[in-house]
Amino acid sequence: MPLDVRVAFAGWHLRTPFGPGSAEIVRALREGRAAPARGLPAFPGQDRGDLTAAMDPADFTPSPSGLRTALADVARPAQAALSMPDAWLVVGTSSIFFLGEYMGSGPEWLGSCGDIACDLAQDLGLERAPLTLSTACSSSANALLLAAQAIAREECPSALVTGFEALSPIALNGFRSLMLLDPRGCRPFDRHRVGLHLGEGLAALSLQASSLKFQDPRAVILGGAHVCAAMGPAGQAPDADAMYAVMTEALRTARCEPCDIVAIKAHGLGSTESDEAEAAAVRRLYGSPPPVTGLKGTLGHTLGASGALETAAFLACLEAGFVPPTAGFGEADPALSMAPLRKPLAARPGPYQLNFFGFGASYVSLVVGFES
């Protein structure tokens, strides 16, 4: 649906392997650097050669109390930007599937993963019943979309969207079994790409109707769409038609034409099939595409957190005056007929399209307006 009420980003905060806040991740994205590699716990079956973008243990302790503290620390600065306290908390993550094992608290903890959002709402003093979404890699992107739609329908005055992901043996071994891990790190759209590397992080973004005049918003959600294209086992493969459909619908809801888009933040998974499908969808929609970039070469693939984390990081780069280059990209793939940015591009006002494509064909595309 069109967002007849402009939904503004009132603020955001994030915590990545580069540390808390935006400064270091913005610097790394500008320079096209990958996250620092750190040692991991002794996960069952782990190949010690696996490359991961792991958090500094000083910033994130892998325990239920550590997660609760880290989420509150990330959410409070974003919450402080809201002019009204009655925010709706929407949490997006795919970690609920394996947090019990990762945290070492036993399988019984899996049954109470909804308590994460309830605990966070309590810590933040939010009285509305929170919601947790888990749609694989599009989880927190769906959370942003759902929260924006609720504000546009005047179902809530403001929303606080939080995404988080912790590295886990299930995710690591699962992607290895699919032969989707690249020992050199994610290389979006590169000719020699073979997959991804996993990352972890947390982000929170506050949303509010821009008509409330709490500030002069520099970024607003103009529109967005979700398509779930899973049709049995075949639905697990990247679906170029569904990617095209969700991008087209996002532009329609934003009342934008392809020629209006300044740049695209691609999903940029780095796998052969996914990048082929996304490039085909972009070419079909745009013909001659605008500049394209991907962030996973720097952040790693943060799965359910990627919607919130990559949106916050991308907005921070725009505020710093640039569209980031694509870390990991080195050589264009002639089969794609599309190459992402190699160098930073000066940001300019206008709409940007942000893609988040989840495993199992849960696809989200957002159109974000930026004013310099």
CATH assignment at residue 126: 3.40.47.10
Q: What is the mean pLDDT of residues 88-100?
A: 77
- What's the token pair of residue 170? 């299930």
Q: What is the mean pLDDT of residues 70-91?
A: 90
For 136, phi then psi, to 5°, come to 60, -135
Residue that is written with structure tokens 């020629």 in the block: 259
CA–CA dist 58, 360 (Å, integer): 34
Mean pLDDT computed over every residue of the chain: 88
CA–CA dist 200, 271 (Å, integer): 19
Q: What is the mean pLDDT of residues 295-299?
A: 97
pLDDT tens profile 28-79: 999 999 877 665 555 555 555 678 898 888 888 767 778 889 999 999 999 9
Q: Of 46, 42, 45, whose CA–CA distance to 62 is shortest? A: 42
Pairing verdict, β 292-293 and 264-265:
parallel
* Three-point CA angle 219, 368, 67, nearest 5°: 80
Distance of CA 5 to the CA centre of its chain: 23
Residue ranges with strand state E in 134-218: 158-165, 198-199, 201-209
Q: Of 327, 265, 300, whose CA–CA distance to 28 is shortest? A: 327
> What length is written for the chain?
372
* Three-point CA angle 323, 29, 301, nearest 5°: 105
Give how many domains the chain has, as a whole number: 1
pLDDT tens profile 201-260: 999 999 998 776 656 678 999 999 999 986 655 556 789 999 999 999 999 999 999 999
Q: Which of 81-85, 101-105, 340-344, 368-372 has the lowest mean pLDDT?
A: 101-105
Please state the pTM of the whole predicted model: 0.93
Q: Which of 21-25, 80-84, 98-102, 263-267 has the lowest mean pLDDT?
A: 98-102
CA distances from 211 to 150, 220, 342 (A): 15, 11, 38
Q: What pLDDT, on the 0 to 100 scale, is given for residue 236? A: 67
- What's the token pair of residue 11? 């603020």
Q: What pLDDT, on the 0 to 100 scale, is given for residue 173? A: 80
CA–CA dist 34, 51 (Å, integer): 11
- What's the token pair of residue 152? 């546009």
- Which sign, positive or negative, has the C-alpha torsion 205, 209, 213, 214? negative
Three-state SS for 30?
Answer: helix
**Side-chain-side CA neighbours of residue 250 (13 Å):** 34
Q: Of 221, 244, 326, 228, whose CA–CA distance to 7 is shortest? A: 221
Q: What pLDDT, on the 0 to 100 scale, is given for residue 101? A: 46
If pLDDT is split at 50, 70 and 90, which confidence band does 265 have?
very high
Domain of 354 in residue numbering reads as: 1-372
CA–CA dist 200, 55 (Å, integer): 6
Q: What pLDDT, on the 0 to 100 scale, is given for residue 199? A: 93
Distance of CA 195 to the CA centre of its chain: 18
| Residue 109 confidence (pLDDT) above 60 | no
CA–CA dist 302, 266 (Å, integer): 14
